[in-house]
Chain A
Amino acid sequence: MTKTYYTEDHEWLRVEGDIATVGITDYAQEQLGDLVFVELPEAGRKLAKGDVAVVVESVKAASDVYAPLDGEITDSNAALSSDPALINSAATGDGWLWKMKIANTGQLEGLMDEAGYNAHIG
């Protein structure tokens, strides 16, 4: 059973058991423009909610992507090293950023569902 959550910082989380796959939303990739580099986190890195997990770089600027939850990185999307534009073309699919083991599933309760997120971006 998979469930998708959204954050106010324009990330999505696909949660299966205690593993979350995290990426940025289509709205976010549109705002950032063409991405040219992604600084990915190493597996095993422990993150607290709000830590900078990933830096995505467009032609023009670098932007931080924050950990939406406490947890530990289990994997990151190696395909982005050679093709960062995957985030532009498939933000919510092949352009995922990292997977993490969720430390406290209770933190999911503060996140939005799709309808809530759509209302958030207006």
Chain B
Amino acid sequence: MTGDHTNQLPLEDLHSAAGARFGAFAGWNMPLTYPAGVMKEHLHTREHVGLFDISHMKLFVVSGPGAADLINRACPLDAKTLEFKQSKYTFFLTEAAGIVDDLIITRLGEDRFMVVANAGNAATDEAHLREIGKSFDANIEPLDRVFIAIQGPEAAAVLESAGVDTDTLFFMQGFEPRTNWFMSRSGYTGEDGFEIGLPEADARELLAKLLGDERVMWIGLAARDSLRLEAGLCLHGNDITPDTDPASAGLMWAIPKDLRTDGKFIGAAALSKILADGAKEKRVGLKPEGRQPVRSGTQLFDADGNPAGRVTSGGFGPSAGFPVAMGYVSAPLAKAGTRVFADVRGTKVPVDVHSLPFTQHRYRKG
């Protein structure tokens, strides 16, 4: 974290000009909403294209003869089996298999990988990587980039209009299309979309074109949160933390099968034990009955009033049309349709365990 210092986005002037309302997030002064408001911004992204400034997130290049070995030690991943351009969702884990951060790693070349880390954990992640990196012949280079996300069903068309080729990429692929650019087909909304890291001058040029396209709208952090929550995607710090592990979080799909019992990554032994014993709690979708949102931090109880779990993210789903939430319940209660009760200011609100995502993903897969 950055203490008292609040970081400013390089493009803050563009957000101010667009009428953004700002707020602090993970040490950054971030646009929370624009004049259209969270509801319209959310729906616009699902129907057309949402443009997000995600420059608070950090890009690292890991390169050198020991790069893959370093990643294999730091993450439950086999970096050597990744194809060039292939992106993988993965984690840094503690020795106890707690989630230090969730990341996307893309293989750019034989010995060259791009790591995308969360804003709030960027400093921790860099220190973590450098500590592990001491044992490997690899270079860790944090990049100074503007990072933007272009999300929604018309994202590819909009980028093509702006002169950026997209048809070489499928979902969860990334490459370096121009000098000092990194572009991947990925995102945090459940929609088709792209994330592009690029130098500020290039960014301003590209954004001038994108913002001149009527299909494109700036989207703030508030709608980014409601979009990712409907899509069932985790927010590190809320839904996954150093106190939760990938098995409880339902994220084992991100870990290759042969590494689950016999991995050499940090946290492998603890994770293998958790899997053998069975996770005690599970991350689930939660659908409150009625219209009242159930928020992060709310405690859950079973029908007899016994503690059953907790809500880790909660709000209203503008596309779903009802309140949506995510949280952890004890493993026997994790089946979709199980009813639990949320304690909202002393009232017991009925909440049903619900499958994730709440809105279907619409990725463009190869």
Question: Are A and B bound to each other?
Answer: yes
| A contacts, CB < 8 Å to B | 33-34, 36-37, 39, 55, 57-62, 81, 84, 88
Measured between C-beta atoms, what is the minimum distance from B183 to chain A in Å?
30
Distance in angstroms between the alpha carbons of A57 and B223 in the assembled complex: 15
Whether the pair B39, A59 counts as a contact (CB closer than 8 A) is yes
- Quick one: closest A residue to B38, CB to CB? A59
A55-B345, A59-B316, A60-B315 given as contacts; is B293 within 8 A of A37 (CB)? yes
Measured between C-beta atoms, what is the minimum distance from B145 to chain A in Å?
28
Chain A contacts of B87 at CB under 8 A? none
Distance in angstroms between the alpha carbons of A100 and B38 in the assembled complex: 32
Check B318 for interface membership: any CB of A closer than 8 A.
yes
| B contacts, CB < 8 Å to A | 33, 37-39, 42, 222-223, 225-226, 291-293, 295, 315-316, 318, 323, 345
Measured between C-beta atoms, what is the minimum distance from B26 to chain A in Å?
16
Chain B contacts of A62 at CB under 8 A? 293, 295
24 CB-based A-B contacts, threshold 8 Å: A33-B33, A33-B37, A33-B39, A34-B39, A36-B291, A37-B291, A37-B292, A37-B316, A39-B292, A39-B345, A57-B292, A57-B293, A57-B316, A58-B38, A59-B38, A59-B39, A59-B42, A59-B226, A59-B316, A60-B38, A60-B315, A61-B295, A84-B291, A88-B37
Distance in angstroms between the alpha carbons of A55 and B315 in the assembled complex: 14
- Quick one: closest A residue to B347, CB to CB? A39
Distance in angstroms between the alpha carbons of A81 and B290 in the assembled complex: 10
- Quick one: closest B residue to A64, CB to CB? B345
- Quick one: closest A residue to B291, CB to CB? A37
Cβ-Cβ contact count across A and B, 8 Å cutoff? 46
Whether the pair B293, A33 counts as a contact (CB closer than 8 A) is no
Distance in angstroms between the alpha carbons of A91 and B292 in the assembled complex: 20
Distance in angstroms between the alpha carbons of A36 and B222 in the assembled complex: 14
Chain A contacts of B318 at CB under 8 A? 34, 59
Measured between C-beta atoms, what is the minimum distance from B37 to chain A in Å?
5
- Quick one: closest A residue to B40, CB to CB? A34
Whether the pair A60, B37 counts as a contact (CB closer than 8 A) is no
A33-B38, A34-B38, A34-B39 given as contacts; is B225 within 8 A of A60 (CB)? yes
Chain B contacts of A34 at CB under 8 A? 37-39, 318
Chain B contacts of A37 at CB under 8 A? 291-293, 316, 323
Chain A contacts of B315 at CB under 8 A? 59-60
Chain B contacts of A36 at CB under 8 A? 291, 293, 316, 323
Measured between C-beta atoms, what is the minimum distance from A50 to chain B in Å?
17
Chain B contacts of A84 at CB under 8 A? 291
Measured between C-beta atoms, what is the minimum distance from A45 to chain B in Å?
14
Whether the pair B292, A59 counts as a contact (CB closer than 8 A) is no
Nearest 10 CB-CB pairs, A to B?
A34-B39, A36-B316, A59-B38, A59-B316, A37-B292, A37-B291, A60-B222, A34-B37, A33-B38, A57-B293
- Quick one: closest B residue to A52, CB to CB? B345
Distance in angstroms between the alpha carbons of A105 and B292 in the assembled complex: 34
Interface centre among A34, A57, A81, A84 (most CB of B within 10 A): A34
Chain B contacts of A55 at CB under 8 A? 345
Distance in angstroms between the alpha carbons of A81 and B345 in the assembled complex: 18
Distance in angstroms between the alpha carbons of A120 and B323 in the assembled complex: 35
Chain A contacts of B226 at CB under 8 A? 59-60
Chain B contacts of A39 at CB under 8 A? 292, 345
- Quick one: closest B residue to A57, CB to CB? B293
Distance in angstroms between the alpha carbons of A67 and B226 in the assembled complex: 31
Whether the pair A33, B316 counts as a contact (CB closer than 8 A) is no
Chain B contacts of A88 at CB under 8 A? 37
- Quick one: closest A residue to B23, CB to CB? A60
Distance in angstroms between the alpha carbons of A34 and B21 in the assembled complex: 14
- Quick one: closest A residue to B293, CB to CB? A57
Chain A contacts of B39 at CB under 8 A? 33-34, 59
Distance in angstroms between the alpha carbons of A68 and B345 in the assembled complex: 21
Measured between C-beta atoms, what is the minimum distance from A47 to chain B in Å?
16
Measured between C-beta atoms, what is the minimum distance from A29 to chain B in Å?
10
Chain A contacts of B38 at CB under 8 A? 33-34, 58-60
